Amino acid sequence: MSDAGSVGRVQPARPGDPARVGPYRVIGRLGSGGMGTVHAALDPAGQRVAVKVIHAAQAEDPEFRARFHREVVLSSRVCGPCLLPLLAADPDAAAPWLATEYAPGPTLNQHLAGHGPLAGGSLYAFATGTAQALAAIHQAGVVHRDMKPQNVILTPAGPKVLDFGIAHAADGTSVTRTGVMTGTPGWICPEHYRSGTAGPAGDMFVWGALVAYAATGRLPFGTGAPDVVAFRVMSQAPDLEGVPQGLRETLEKALAKEPDERLTATEAAEECSQLLASQATQVLSSEAAMESTLVGDLIGAEWDMPVLDDPTWHTPPARSRTRLYATVATAAVVVGGVTGAFLALMPAETGSTSGHKSPKSSQGRTTAPAPGSTGAPAAANKGDAKIKDDPLPAYTREGRGGEPRFEEWEAARGPAVTAEKGAASAIKDRTEALLADDGMTEATVDITYNHAAQTVFVTSDPQPLWGDSAHDTFLQNAEKAACQELSERLGLNPGGWSYGRYAIYWRELMTPATSDTIHVLGYGDAAGGCEGLEGREYSWQPDTEGLERAQTPSTSRDEIRVADETVNRLFSEWNGNSRLVNDPNYISHSDTSIGFDSFKSVMYVWARKPEWDQHTRSRWAEAAATVACDTITTEAGARKEWAYSQYAVAIRGSDGRATFLRWGSGSSCLE
């Protein structure tokens, strides 16, 4: 949120500013920019937050809303000591908004203008903290794309990187407008100037320029007209005069003109943390010494920024009694009219409640004749007395899902409120797109809700040319789309989203003289995530026999090389820059293995971590599946003799038994 201006006094609220945004009480302004206005606010416990409310012009643009909604979901995954966690958001509100922790202190620009360049330990702490922040962002699958000086706050506790307002998914699936240049002139990488696109390597180029600017107070590619600066960025060397030698070498690698020649954020964080440790102790001479040093503590120890306070936070401006009554009345109307819209985001490290069960999917079929009309709503299941039609209930039937009854489908209705409409649109669009990719271009689906059953139904429209062979294709794609959307909604808003159960129905087209027939193809519970659904082959599942075969030592040089490269990449993705081997989440060669089942052409990845809770297992499985899927796809493209086209990810418990969490084919990573 670059507009936050998190330094100095809070500006007074202006006429037309809201008294409240979601659960937050607005006490003033922190700034305003092209995308929105950032308000200083207090949560119900009195904690300070920064709330960005999107301008009306952007809010009226459906494409912007789609992008903003996706960025909210992506940003909720990102957390780290030098990042501001996303606390809450409502991308479906009339005026979309998001809230983060408040960061006291000047921006880098403001500090340089008032106090000059950073030096000594503060400079190395700045470089280390910002690189660690980018590493966390990239590991979550996000590209920042706007690492300018206004987006780094120098708080008393260390540098804080903010503003994911124009971040995009690293996999390229985010919603963008062709031909629009995002970013700020002078803080754009060469490839973005050339093609309008950039990935994590682009962030690293701008990071190099940012740290050079912090060290010298000079823009590394000078000033002037945007096209002149662009020419220098693409063709001339940066001005690094005055940057300390060790740090200069790191920045030169970050500022390479070609993306594949740059170091990664994790590598930059590692190099800068070593420089920081050397600055602090001047005696580090061994790997063991580095492992015993807590880099986070060093950032705090070497960082030198004054503690600033603003009395405005303690004396919020009084509002008239009339205005207060109007606010309360308005709030009552809003609560009744936008049921389910508020998305209370949980920090990425905690996520949903631990102990959630993996979604259960049944491919058994129940058939019933479709009636001529929906009739009266069906009663809720016996034993579901706790499920009420409250305006904003949490999803409560996890573990009590069971096969959906025909009466539940019959009583389902179309989406009624903003959040339901948004979820229905996302499920419908993704299902139809996936079906089209599989050749079912005529496919259309209907999304309905049964509030009492807390279930979303995805139903096919009848197609005379579709036979039983299309059932699995429809189930696989519809289940994937429904589970993904519901899982994200539950994770973002566990206390205010009602639907976690989904059911996939097939409508069979009969003759004009008979009624259509409805089949239940499958159902599941999204509350525990969607492990195993993404890219799952419905005709194949991993098994303990295959895992046992994968534990036989390999004699193939290619298999040994691939296993070594893959496990090291997984360590880097999961551990990041951490060297804290006593951290219960840390993985190493002692508890992580990769092996190959040549009989079924499967690469297995497994970890011996019986102490992990369900949430940690889910996060690890996602990371391991991404690495494994990318590995087998890359190897298949590089050599035709590569035999492995499928992967499986498992956790071994204290009894040695394996629980399979994710699996699929190499084609699933190409979606």
Q: How far separated are the first and last CA of the chain, in Å rounded?
A: 31
Q: Are 240 and 251 a contacting pair, CB within 8 Å?
A: yes
Active site residues: 146
Hey, which residues does 369 pair with through a beta bridge?
517
Could you give the CA distance from residue 671 to residue 119 in angstroms, rounded to a whole number? Answer: 46
Write down the H helix ranges in 418-505.
Answer: 418-437, 471-492
136 in Cβ contact with 83 (< 8 Å): yes
- Count Cα atoms within 13 angstroms, Cβ side, for 208: 32
Q: Buried b vs exposed e over 302-324: b needs ≥16 C-beta within 10 Å? A: bbebeeeebebbeebeeeeeeee
Q: Which residue has the tokens 């260390």?
A: 158
Tokens 């000591």 identify what position? 81
Q: Is the dihedral of CA 577, 580, 581, 587 positive or negative?
A: negative
Neighbours of 372 (CB within 10 A): 7
- Among the listed residues 451, 453, 347, the one whose alpha carbon sits nearest the alpha carbon of residue 392: 451
* Helix or strand holding residue 69 (H, E): helix 62-75
How far apart, in whole angstroms, are the C-alpha atoms of residue 332 and residue 336?
A: 6
**d(Cα 402, Cα 395) in Å, to the nearest integer?**
15
**β-strands 602-608, 455-460: how paired?**
unpaired
Name the DSSP letter for residue 611. Answer: T
Contact 522, 460 (CB under 8 A): no
Tell me the two tokens of residue 315.
């004396």
Outline where DSSP puts E strands in 589-637: 592-597, 602-608
Separation CA 254–CA 183 (nearest Å): 18
Give the β-pairing of 48-54 and 142-143.
Answer: unpaired
Helix H, strand E, coil C: the string for 502-545 is: EEEEEEECCCCCCCCEEEEEEEEEHHHCCCCCCCCCCCCCCCHH
Phi and psi (nearest 5°) for 389? Answer: -85, 45
DSSP 8-state code for residue 391? S
Burial profile 171-206: b = 16 or more Cβ within 10 angstroms, e = fewer? eeebbeeeeeebbbbbbbbbbbbeeeebbbbbbbbb
Q: Which residues of 527-562 are buried (b: 16+ CB within 10 A; e: fewer)?
A: bbbbbbbbbbeeebebeeebbebbeeeeeeeebeeb
d(CA 542, CA 537): 10
